[in-house]
Chain A
Amino acid sequence: MEAFIKFESTAIPLPIENVDTDQIIPARFLKAITKEGFGDNLFRDWRFDRNNNEIADFVLNNPKYSGQILVAGKNFGCGSSREHAAWALDGYGIKVVVSSFFADIFKGNALNNGILPIQVSDDQLDIIFKTIEEDHQAAFEIDLEAQQFTICKKGIHINFEIDNYKKECLLKGYDDIDYLLDLKEEIVAFENQRTIY
């Protein structure tokens, strides 16, 4: 995993609530045995029609919008536990997802793949959507160290929560396995002192 560094980017707006992982990456694209190539099928059925033609009014097909930040409606990433959703976002180049609520498993999967989910309030989310609506070139700054999301031109700073352990992992580019492998002795000791039927 790459270390997460401070950056500035424009954002892609997706003002839809309850975006489920079946939309992020439909099941028929889950047949790969590697993590590569999922970005091409991110939001596949919203992006392309049945004849594989681009659907013009979907935001990813609108040349106005680009960037490494996806701003989405409430309860983003609900449904299936497929980590492919995180790989698809990552493959497409998304580093941060902003929403007013995230589904649990998605949030964990995103963090495990170096994608930062930033939870803001409903009101803050509205302001962010409005900012992009007014100016699709509007820039946002993400500073993980300071836990701050900034709407640059308005000078609005939004502080976000992330637990310390995950923050450290993202900043250093470490993952949970490195940590767990170091714990082998304690794990074996734990196994030895219990009976499970």
Chain B
Amino acid sequence: MAKTLFDKIWDAHVVKDIDSTRQVIYIDRHFIHEVTSPQAFSGLRNRGIELFRTKQTTATADHNVPTLNQHLPIKDPLSRSQVDTLTENCKEFGVNLYHLGHELQGIVHVIGPELGITRPGMTIVCGDSHTSTHGAFGNIAFGIGTSQVEQVFASQCLILSKPKTMRITVDGILQDGVSAKDVILYIISKLTAAGGTGYFVEYAGSTISSMSMEERMTVCNMSIEMGARGGMIAPDETTFEYIKDRKFAPKDKEYKQALQQWKTLYSDHGASFDQEYTFDAADIGPMLTYGTNPGMGIQVNEQIPNISEYLDPKQLTKSLDYMGLQQGQLLEGQEIQHVFIGSCTNARIEDLRKVANFVQGKQKADHVQAWIVPGSKQVEKQAKEEGLDTVFADAGFQLREPGCSACLGMNEDKVPAGDYCISTSNRNFEGRQGPGARTILASPLSAAAAAIEGKIVDVRKYMN
């Protein structure tokens, strides 16, 4: 019978059927960070058991870390305690940790792929919803809660019900200035923030297959923002090339054997999905969010919807009040005070290159604070080797040290209440970037253009 990519991988990981809906699923890779792991380690300790498969577990500190002066102790005592607790736990239970200051440290979803730990055909989990990022390599990757982190620690397995499958096909060529970020924001705006709940998504079509690995990660990263458990893309030559020669990737003969296995990973012709959507790349323009969930998105030249046409008027009113925006308003021309280019959605080297290329020879607007926060130490190093740091400095952008930074208001990097921030991150929830902060999600290019002009602009005017 024709099988979907999802089913092929899922079925290969069933250890046992519990009942008609629940199965024990084996987990190949487990990433952990400081925020969602301490209570799981305590759980092991309370039960008096070991961590079952330490070699399949990788840790990094990312959410709480400062992005300036990382060589100094973390100022906030609670953040410091959480990061220190991770270090102690990893030592006690024998887990490989890329601690603050380590040359391979970075945001968990950036370092996994970058180090070649993330590979096709695997099951991958992390106590973090954006684990969906890893699905870009053709695997089943999803976020879990802390109780489940403890389950994986204890048994390398999870008890799960199989989700439904959805295929989203995007065909055609994107306009100049329109990127993977715009594609996913567009899809979420069409499906809404809950449209994918209960599903695992496979992205397909010529637009997706012509994307680089980093662009594919941007797309899969935000699958969770439409409620989906995860997103995946069938691996192809682009995937295999990316993995080859990475630190932990299979080498030589093993790599050749791996290729044989990886090449069987695609949805068979005729495989059926529980839900299908198709989009045309030509319809997608630069996207922006105007509200307080990622489904509230419009193209730069569209108006914010009116109450009368909106599905949930109460939510629209509440969101627009919070955002200080009006129904029917155009976002183009909206003044912004902060620009955040970073997060596991858009802080990889290609993102930084695109921004550098765009801002070269330009100057940010005086009233704007423009931050670029690389996704990992390796991205930071690469950026410096390529001289991007000078380009950023000349344009008035600040290149900081790696971490989650202003993606979430947990570390020192926050957006002040009432200020507008155009951000390449993935969530525009109330207070996400700090209490009262107003987040407008966008692509790195749109964010860079807004930094230059001090207001939101249609980046396509710079193209050609």
Task: Mark A residues whose CB is within 8 Å of B.
Answer: 15-18, 20, 22-23, 26-28, 30-35, 45, 50, 74-75, 78-84, 86, 101, 103-105, 108-109, 112-113, 163-165, 175-177, 179-181, 183-184, 186-187, 190-191, 194-197
Contacts and interface: CB of A to CB of B under 8 A. Distances in A.
Interface string B46-84: 010100000000000001100000000000101101100
Contacts of B151: 176-177, 180
Given A81-B145, A109-B145, A20 B36 contact: no
B147 A79 contact: no
A164 to B, nearest CB: 6
Residue from B119, B197, B250 with most neighbouring chain A CB atoms (10 Å): B197
A175 B158 CA distance: 12
Contacts, number: 186
Interface residues of B, number: 76
Given A101-B194, A103-B227, A50 B436 contact: yes
A139 to B, nearest CB: 27
**Nearest 7 pairs between A and B by C-beta?**
A197-B258, A83-B145, A31-B78, A180-B155, A109-B145, A112-B147, A33-B38
Contact of B227 (A78, A80, A109): A78
19 contacts: A17-B315, A20-B429, A23-B429, A26-B431, A28-B410, A50-B435, A80-B129, A83-B145, A163-B161, A176-B159, A177-B154, A179-B159, A180-B24, A186-B15, A187-B26, A187-B157, A194-B12, A195-B261, A197-B257
Interface in B285-341: 293, 312, 314-315, 318
A184 B409 CA distance: 40
Given A16-B314, A32-B78, A112-B148, 14 more contacts: A17-B314, A17-B315, A18-B315, A23-B429, A34-B42, A45-B430, A45-B435, A80-B427, A177-B147, A177-B151, A177-B155, A180-B154, A183-B24, A197-B261
Contacts of A84: 146
Contacts of B64: 31
Contacts of A31: 35, 64, 76, 78-79, 81-82, 410
Interface stretch (B120-128, B363-371, B444-452): B120-128
A197 B82 contact: no
B194 A82 contact: no
Contact of B26 (A16, A177, A190): A190
Nearest to B83: A31
A6 to B, nearest CB: 24
B410 A16 contact: no
B23 to A, nearest CB: 11
Nearest to A165: B22
A181 B229 CA distance: 25
Interface string B30-51: 0000011011001100010100
Given A22-B429, A180-B157, A109 B410 contact: no
B417 interface: yes
Contacts of B19: 163-165
B113 interface: no
A86 B145 contact: yes
Residue from A17, A26, A31, A34 with most neighbouring chain B CB atoms (10 Å): A31
Contacts of B241: none
Interface string B121-160: 1100001110000000000000111111011001111110
Contact of A27 (B76, B197, B409, B436): B409
Nearest to B146: A83
Contact of B15 (A17, A175, A183, A197): A183
Contacts of A109: 145-147
B254 interface: yes
B318 A16 contact: yes
Contacts of B254: 197
B28 A196 contact: yes
B216 interface: no
Contact of B315 (A16, A82, A181): A16
A105 B145 contact: yes
B18 A22 contact: no
Contacts of B409: 26-28
A45 to B, nearest CB: 5
Contacts of B193: 18, 75, 78
B432 interface: yes
A84 B254 CA distance: 41
B157 A181 contact: no
